[in-house]
Amino acid sequence: MTAAELAAEVVEAINSRDPARLAGVLGEDSEVVTGRNVHSGPAAISAWAGKEYDHLVKRYAIAEYRVSGDSVLALGAVQYAWAESGDVADSSPIAITLELDGDRLRRLRLQDDPAAALAAFEG
């Protein structure tokens, strides 16, 4: 599996909210860094990914993956869709930096400024 394919699998596992699927791409030292918190280990990451909102489903819609060694930058949008219809209620640009370790996620960092994330990734 290529780095981009593994990164896509991680994003799909997060979007699925399936703890078993997510566990398949995580190691004990995996972490997710958001603007507010660091979620360390499979249990904390599963709890973060499984967070639900009234009538809305959060998902990451990735348009592009860029690879540099064991790091991948995913560019796209975080979408909040109505649970009943699946229609997008709100969407914001996002960049997700994924650091990989073999076939597992080491660190995922969410960034709300894709241009700055791209500049840092390419710099």
pLDDT tens profile 79-114: 999 988 988 989 999 999 999 999 999 999 999 999
CA distances from 49 to 1, 6, 44, 68, 120 (A): 23, 17, 9, 25, 26
pLDDT tens profile 4-15: 999 999 999 999
In a domain, 11, yes or no: yes
How many Å apart are CA 3 and CA 10, to the nearest integer? 11
In a domain, 61, yes or no: no
How many Å apart are CA 103 and CA 25, to the nearest integer? 7
Domain with 22 in it: 3-53+67-75+95-113
Query: Number of structural domains, the chain?
Result: 1
Torsion of CA 10, 13, 80, 95, to 10 degrees: 0
Model-wide pTM > 0.85: yes
